[in-house]
Amino acid sequence: MPQQHKIGSIYVMTIILSACSILYELLIAQAVVSLATNMVVFYSLTIGLYLISMGLGALYFHRHFKGQGTWELLFRVEMALAIIGSLSVFIVYFAHMLAGFCEIRFFFLGGTILFLGLVMLTIIMIGFLTGLEVPLLLRLGQELRTTQVINRILAFDYFGSLLGGVLFPLVLLPHFELIQIGLAVGFINLLVALFILFMRIEKKVGLMEQALSGLLVVVFSIAFLNAGNIEQFFLKKYYYYKETSESFVSLFDPMDKYPTIERYASPYQKIDIVQVPPIASPYWEILRVYSNKYHVYPDAPTGYILFLDGFFQLWSDFEEVYHEYFAHVPVALNGKVPQDVLVLGAGDGMLMRELVKYPGIKTITQVDIDRTIVELARVHPLLRWLNNNVMADSRVKVIIADAYPFLRNNQKKFDAIYMDFPAPFDYNLSKLYSREFYSFAFKSLKDDGYAVLDAASLKALSDEKDFLKSDAQMYFHTLKAAGFQTIHFFTSRLEQDNPEALALMRKAIGDSNQLVVKERADGFGIHREEVNGQEAIAQHLLSSFMTDQEHQFIFLKKEKQASDPQYGEIVSDLFVLNKARVFLSINQSQIEAAAAEPSYVNSILRPTIPNISYWWRIKFPY
């Protein structure tokens, strides 16, 4: 090969390989954040760890090879990257499976440590190998020609990074599964290795390695074409993680008997509709004590859960306990039915199904960023049944927009604003829970209007005691800083002394007289507790089941409301909520403070939500 062509191919390789390198980095980061809670932290951790491993690779090249770059070494590096890189997404998914297995069978934190360890190991290996590439190419280039080669290669390195950095979010991520992207990038590494082989730049490559590269081409093609099935395999492992963790062998079971996970991917989120096994007796019967939905509609859909980005959103059997409280308790607290309502988020339509029950409500303006979920609410049979085809109601007007700039630029005043966003586990969502956003909401509200928001996310990350201590403080002081004078927490609470439900529970317990309760303790380890006696067991089980159904909300008004307001009437045709339960839901301890405490305030310039102390938590569907 002529000198000129060799140097040209080094430049081309630099662009391609640095694009591959940043693609691996973004790919692993994306795979990790899809399974972890705090996105920004895990993104930064992945990128940071990747960069340091690249640095280690560069230093290792300097020390170990004394700067002697050979084409043979480049060939080996590319082969190794092709194998490990294409497996990277598999390793991350598998690490999460093992973490679930460990959490269920051994101890809680063990799974997290295992997950973090395996993921870090993958990042370090790939980062290290890609770190060898640029110094190696620099050395190979310098051997051919000395002038200005270094800066050119560095520049091509940057251009390659731009190429990868733009390709990933704009082209690859919207159109391909992560597994496919991993295989494709690995395949490019393989192509570079094959190029070195076939252009006879390197003659020392052994027969074994040649055969291996040929085999890899076949394996990659097969895996790429079956990426849909592989994705489905891992989706089932994620959503049925309790069933899959029964034994070590069942970890690898393809779970063909389980229903296919319905996935709709949009640029903003992954929408999954999961069919779950029916809940065990007596819980099934107990649900029907609290909700009369299945008495009115015996063939109402049952056993579906909607997830957004892997986070629980609603359960078809008992979503009323969320949406009925969310929609109606504020009306009761306000004492007056609003006329013009603004609904932010809530793309599935369930909240609006409750609101249209009031003839007094004249208009509902819904703002959601994601066209896909709004369209599903309109046409998907399950969602349409559940939201009672509310999207066809003439009072509902849908605007597809990011709620933040929408509310900032909004000039209209509303009687009520409902804020229903996904849990703020990462900083991008935390903007919708910021002092700035709440200030815009304050301005968009009429003087006698009310706002309400779903703070249910709090429960998922902290237990009940913590909720009132720390995270609720963040909400309280942020809302206070935005100007709200009435900040009233309420919970979708059900009575736990329901005699009918207790009788069902006692019947199911039968003769057993002792129950050992294992709970995730805050921090490390497991909290163990023994419950003795049939009555105590029944009360304990019912209480913990009912507590699981609870969600936290915050009711807001511009002015200070009298401590004993006149509760207004709410509509009567509800499945779960009734007057007694309205009083139960608002009867809880409140935070009081005259002024906002700055250190708690969640701002777009300094987020306190999500709580950074919980950065390490990984994601489980429930």
Partner 1 sequence: MKRILSRIYLITFVLSFCSIVYELILAQTLSAFLADTVLRYSVTVGLYLFSLGIGSLLAEGTFLTAPAFYLIIVEILLAVLGGFSIVFLFVADALRLSGGVFSFLAHGLIILIGILSGFEVPLLIALMDKDQPNRESLILGFNYLGAFLGTIAFAFIFYPRLGLIPSSLLVGTMNALIGILLFKAAGDKLPKGLFILQALLLVLMVCCLLNASAINDYFIKLYLR
The Cα 524–Cα 110 span in angstroms is 10
Q: Contacting partner 1 (CB under 8 A), which of 104, 118, 289, 401?
A: 401
- Within residues 417-456, the interface with partner 1 by CB under 8 A covers 427-428, 431, 435-436, 439
Residues 36 and 28: their CA atoms lie apart, in Å, by: 12
| CB neighbourhood size of 395 (10 A) | 16
Single out the segment in contact with partner 1 by CB under 8 A; choices: 163-171, 232-240, 286-294, 321-329.
Answer: 163-171
Least spacing, CB of residue 362 vs partner 1, in Å: 28
Q: What whole-number distance in Å separates Cα of residue 441 and Cα of residue 450?
A: 10
Residue with tokens 């009429």: 446
168 binds partner 1 (CB under 8 A): yes
What DSSP line would sit under 355-407, residue for residue? HTT-TT--EEEEEES-HHHHHHHHH-HHHHHHTTTGGG-TTEEEEES-HHHHH
Q: Does 144 bind partner 1 (CB under 8 A)?
A: no
For partner 1, which stretch binds (CB under 8 A), given 155-163, 349-357, 449-457, 491-499?
Answer: 155-163
By C-beta, is 123 or 501 nearer to partner 1? 123
List 3, 151, 394, 563, residue binding partner 1 (CB under 8 A): 151
* Residue 14 C-beta: closest distance to partner 1, Å: 11
Stretch of 294-302, 336-344, 398-406, 529-537 lying at the interface with partner 1 (CB under 8 A): 398-406
φ, ψ of residue 258 to 5 degrees: the values are: -80, 145
Q: How many residues bind partner 1 (CB under 8 A)?
A: 60
Annotated catalytic residue 299: no
**Rounded distance between C-alpha atoms, residue 486 and residue 562, angstroms:** 9
- Of 285, 402, 466, 550, the one binding partner 1 (CB under 8 A) is 402
Give which of 561, 495, 555 is closest to 328, Cα–Cα. 555
Q: Least separation, in Å, of the C-beta of 479 and partner 1? A: 14
In the complex with partner 1, the residue whose CB is nearer, 90 or 406, is 406
154 binds partner 1 (CB under 8 A): yes
Taking CB under 8 A as the rule, does residue 603 contact partner 1? yes
Q: Which of 1, 121, 150, 215 binds partner 1 (CB under 8 A)?
A: 150
Residue 171 near partner 1 by CB under 8 A: no
Among residues 354, 352, 358, 403, which one has the least CA distance to residue 378?
A: 352
- Mask for 100-139, x = binds partner 1 (CB under 8 A): -------------------------------x--xx--x-
Given the residues 317, 348, 368, 420, the one annotated as active site: 420
Least distance from partner 1 to the Cβ atom of residue 231, Å: 21
Asked if 215 contacts 82 with a C-beta cutoff of 8 angstroms, the reply is: no
CB 302 within 8 A of CB 316: yes
The span from the CA of 466 to the CA of 522, in Å, is: 9
Question: Can residue 605 be called a binding residue for partner 1 (CB under 8 A)?
Answer: yes
Residue with tokens 């009555």: 535
At residue 419, the 3 state secondary structure works out as strand
State yes or no: residue 158 binds partner 1 (CB under 8 A). Answer: yes
Residue type, 112: T
Cβ–Cβ under 8 Å, residues 574 and 320? yes
Site string for partner 1, 257-276 (x = CB under 8 A): ----------xx--------
Helices (H) and strands (E) counted in the chain, each on its own, are 25, 13
The answer to whether 591 touches 473, Cβ cutoff 8 Å, is yes
Residue 170 lies near partner 1 (rule: CB under 8 A)? yes
Give the 3-state secondary structure of residue 118: helix
Using the rule CB under 8 A, which residue among 94, 195, 615, 616 binds partner 1? 615
CB 169, min distance to partner 1, A: 4
Residue 67 engages partner 1 in binding (rule: CB under 8 A): yes
Q: Write the DSSP symbol of residue 169.
A: I
200 Rama class: left (phi>0) / alpha (psi -120 to 50) / beta: left
CB closer to partner 1, 61 vs 489: 61
Q: What 8-state DSSP symbol labels residue 467?
A: I
Q: Which residues contact 587 (CB under 8 A, 6 or more apart)?
A: none
Q: Pick the closer one to partner 1 by CB: 126 or 333.
A: 126
Q: Which amino acid is at 593?
A: A
Residue keyed to tokens 């940043």: 22
Q: Which of 45, 119, 274, 504: binder of partner 1 (CB under 8 A)?
A: 45
Among 12, 47, 191, 217, binds partner 1 (CB under 8 A): 47
Cis peptide before 621 (omega within 30 of 0): no
The count of residues in the chain is 622
Closer by beta carbon to partner 1, 149 or else 305: 149
- Rounded Cα distance between 522 and 505, Å, is 28
CB of 286 to partner 1, least distance (A): 41
Tell me whether residue 268 or residue 567 sits nearer to partner 1 (CB atom): 268
Residue 387 token pair: 């939201």
Please report how close the Cβ of residue 417 comes to partner 1 at its closest, in angstroms: 17
Minimal distance, residue 394 CB to partner 1, in Å: 28
Q: Kindly tell me which residue out of 10, 31, 58, 487 binds partner 1, with binding defined by CB under 8 A.
A: 58
Smallest distance from the beta carbon of 214 to partner 1, in angstroms?
Answer: 33
Using CB under 8 A, which of 7, 12, 52, 460 touches partner 1? 52
Q: 400 pairs with which residues across the strands?
A: 368
**Rounded distance, CA 497 to CA 508, Å?**
17
Which residues of the shown chain bind partner 1 in the complex (CB under 8 A)?
A: 22, 40-41, 43-45, 47-49, 51-52, 54-56, 58-59, 61-62, 67, 131, 134-135, 138, 148, 150-152, 154-159, 161-162, 165-166, 168-170, 267-268, 401-402, 404-405, 427-428, 431, 435-436, 439, 603-608, 612, 615
Catalytically active residues are 420
